């Protein structure tokens, strides 16, 4: 995949996460994103799953701000965001990526995991995709792509790999909403 497409996907990510449309990313945008996801999953803002998601997004903001050299109360410009996330996805290894994004993916699993077994089955995944705006008819095909070991369940590692694959252009579905 060309750098241009990779950058394009990161720019779209920046625009989605800039929930108040101010042109910079700050802590409040990540609160807004957690609230938006909660709403699309039909969860109340004070439910423990939503609190966990908000906490995970705050941790992600801290990570990005630190890497960009911004203060905790500061903000990231689009250029800073592209630099930091590009580095995280394309230069650092998978372990660093998983450390940064793991808590958010774990919290999303918590929102979808109706039978509370820590994994996402095809039914649970269908509601995940609906919440992030993917056509229901694509759910089964996407599930099979993400379920790389073919055991009929999606683990946190498989879901993290899918988020990473999206930015590498190996998957066309953005699981983070």
Using CB under 5 A, list all residues that contact Ca ion. 18, 20, 22, 29, 113, 115, 117, 119, 147, 149, 151, 153
- Contact at 8 Å (CB) between 14 and 82? yes
Q: Which residue is nearest to Ca ion (CB)?
A: 22
CB nearer to Ca ion: give 93 or 150.
150
Nearest approach in angstroms of CB 116 to Ca ion is 7
CB atoms near residue 49 (< 10 Å): 18
Nearest approach in angstroms of CB 121 to Ca ion is 5
Cβ neighbors of 104 (< 8 A, separation 6 or more) are 53, 56, 57, 60, 176
CB nearer to Ca ion: give 90 or 148.
148
Nearest approach in angstroms of CB 5 to Ca ion is 24
CB nearer to Ca ion: give 113 or 174.
113
CB nearer to Ca ion: give 119 or 164.
119
Nearest approach in angstroms of CB 19 to Ca ion is 7
Pick from 108, 121, 112, 82: nearest CA to 163: 108
CA atoms within 13 A on the CB side of 165: 16
Strand positions, DSSP E, the chain: 25-26, 75-76
């Amino acid at each position: 995949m060309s750098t241009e497409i990779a950058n394009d996907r990161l720019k779209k990510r920046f625009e989605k996460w800039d929930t108040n449309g101010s042109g910079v990313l700050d802590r409040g945008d990540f609160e807004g994103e957690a609230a938006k996801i909660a709403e699309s999953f039909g969860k109340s803002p004070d439910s423990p799953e939503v609190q966990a998601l908000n906490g995970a997004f705050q941790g992600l903001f801290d990570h990005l701000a630190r890497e960009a050299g911004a203060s905790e109360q500061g903000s990231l410009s689009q250029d800073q965001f592209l630099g930091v996330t590009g580095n995280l996805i394309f230069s650092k290894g998978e372990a660093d990526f998983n450390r940064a994004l793991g808590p958010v993916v774990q919290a999303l699993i918590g929102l979808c995991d109706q039978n509370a077994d820590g994994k996402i089955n095809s039914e649970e995944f269908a509601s995940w995709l609906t919440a992030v705006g993917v056509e229901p008819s694509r759910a089964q095909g996407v599930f099979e792509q993400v379920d790389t070991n073919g055991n009929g369940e999606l683990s946190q590692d498989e879901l993290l790999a899918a988020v990473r694959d999206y930015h590498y252009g190996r998957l066309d579905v953005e699981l983070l909403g």
